């Protein structure tokens, strides 16, 4: 691993060295290569067969995955897609568990938590222009059996004051005052089909049933999905990445008949939340792992 870091540093140094014309303009090709080879876990967001992007219609997502949240190839517009991930582990070929060191980066990572942000504020998206699809961590260039991570903020940091919290725990749009915690996952889109224009899907996941006494918080439902990915061919973080499919995440919803929402509010929205929580491997009634295996995340090649 040390040799890998030395290689990246050397490569970066070469990238910013003087060009043949005597200027100090960076060599963008080398910078791109250095970025490509930085150690960590890369993520990608899709809606079925299409990229999960802002600023235009997302179509073609009804062809290959038969689910209910869209009618055929209903064009949809992404509004928001952000989520916190933490507690990363890799399992090697000898079944050794490696807990990943996710360092503080000043923007997207803090105390082992990373914010993945796939919206850019364009079109129907309402967030910020900045995006992030990468979790920096010290990983080796080899094939592991399993990748594990948690979708959510650990309980030890879930109830801090976001207004004075370090980034990325200072995002007001992911703070959830009524639950005294964070929105672990925010996924929103709307129909752009003329027949159902404006029908929306809103999925917000976070701990529920929270109360505070003497500065100590307790929550009846954790609602933290523990994602475990064990592809047949294994997982190499240098050649493969994690894919999140928003379409699979909302299997069971059909916005052609009206808007659907889940705000993790216990019995108040059990009818809609209970349909999509199993897609993350969660039982909505308990907030813990259920009998269904998660389907929203998978491993693909880079």
Residue 265, phi-psi category: left (phi > 0), alpha (psi -120 to 50), beta (remainder) = alpha
Domain range spanning residue 247? 43-301
> Any idea what DSSP says for residue 140?
-
Residue 20 maps to a domain = no
Specify the number of domains making up the chain: 1
Which pLDDT score, from 0 to 100, does residue 162 have? 93
Half-sphere exposure of 158 toward its Cβ, with a 13 Å CA cutoff?
30
- Coil, strand or helix at 232: coil
**Alpha-carbon distance values, 67 to 59, 206, 212, 274, 277 (Å):** 14, 24, 40, 16, 15
- What would the pLDDT profile of 104-120 be if each residue is shown by its tens digit? 999 999 999 999 999 99
- What would the pLDDT profile of 245-257 be if each residue is shown by its tens digit? 999 999 999 898 8
Dist. CA 253–CA 244, nearest whole Å:
17
Bigger pLDDT: 25 vs 287: 287
Dist. CA 206–CA 282, nearest whole Å:
12
Residue 25 maps to a domain = no
**pLDDT band, very low/low/confident/very high, at 195 (cuts 50, 70, 90):** confident
- Contacts of residue 36, defined as CB under 8 A and 6 or more positions apart, other chains included, come to none
Residue 217 maps to a domain = yes
- Coil, strand or helix at 52: coil
Which pLDDT score, from 0 to 100, does residue 21 have? 32
- Residue recorded with tokens 């998978």: 298
- What would the pLDDT profile of 71-98 be if each residue is shown by its tens digit? 446 889 999 999 999 999 999 999 999 9
Among candidates 243, 254, 252, which has minimal Cα distance to 296?
243
Among candidates 292, 224, 227, 279, which has minimal Cα distance to 249?
279
Among candidates 169, 156, 153, 148, which has minimal Cα distance to 106?
169
**pLDDT band, very low/low/confident/very high, at 180 (cuts 50, 70, 90):** confident
Terminal Cα distance for the chain, rounded = 21
| Max mean pLDDT range (17-26, 53-62, 271-280) | 271-280
Residue 13 maps to a domain = no
């Amino acid at each position: 691993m040390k040799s890998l870091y030395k290689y990246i540093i050397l490569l970066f140094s070469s990238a910013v060295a003087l060009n043949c014309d005597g200027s100090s303009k960076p060599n963008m090709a080398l910078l791109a290569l250095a970025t490509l080879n930085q150690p960590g876990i890369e993520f990608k967001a899709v809606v079925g067969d299409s990229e999960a992007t802002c600023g235009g219609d997302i179509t073609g997502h009804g062809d290959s995955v038969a689910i209910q949240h869209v009618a055929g190839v209903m064009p949809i517009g992404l509004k928001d897609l952000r989520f916190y991930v933490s507690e990363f582990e890799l399992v090697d070929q000898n079944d050794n568990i490696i807990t990943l060191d996710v360092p503080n980066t000043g923007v997207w990572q803090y105390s082992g938590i990373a914010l993945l942000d796939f919206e850019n504020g364009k079109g129907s998206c309402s967030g910020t222009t900045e995006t992030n699809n990468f979790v920096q961590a010290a990983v080796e260039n080899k094939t592991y059996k399993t990748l594990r991570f948690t979708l959510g903020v650990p309980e030890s940091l879930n109830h801090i004051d976001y207004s004075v919290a370090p980034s990325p725990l200072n995002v007001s749009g992911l703070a959830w005052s009524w639950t005294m915690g964070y929105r672990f996952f925010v996924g929103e889109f709307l129909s752009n089909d003329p027949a159902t224009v404006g029908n929306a899907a809103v999925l917000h996941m976070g701990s529920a049933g929270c109360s505070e006494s003497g500065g100590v918080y307790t929550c009846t439902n954790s609602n933290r999905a523990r994602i475990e990915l064990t592809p047949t061919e294994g997982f190499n973080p240098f050649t493969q990445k994690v894919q999140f499919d928003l379409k699979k995440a909302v299997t069971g919803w059909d916005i052609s008949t009206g808007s659907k929402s889940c705000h993790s509010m216990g019995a108040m929205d059990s009818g809609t939340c209970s349909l999509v929580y199993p897609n993350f491997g969660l039982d909505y009634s308990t907030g813990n792992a259920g009998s269904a295996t998660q389907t929203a995340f998978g491993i693909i090649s880079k």
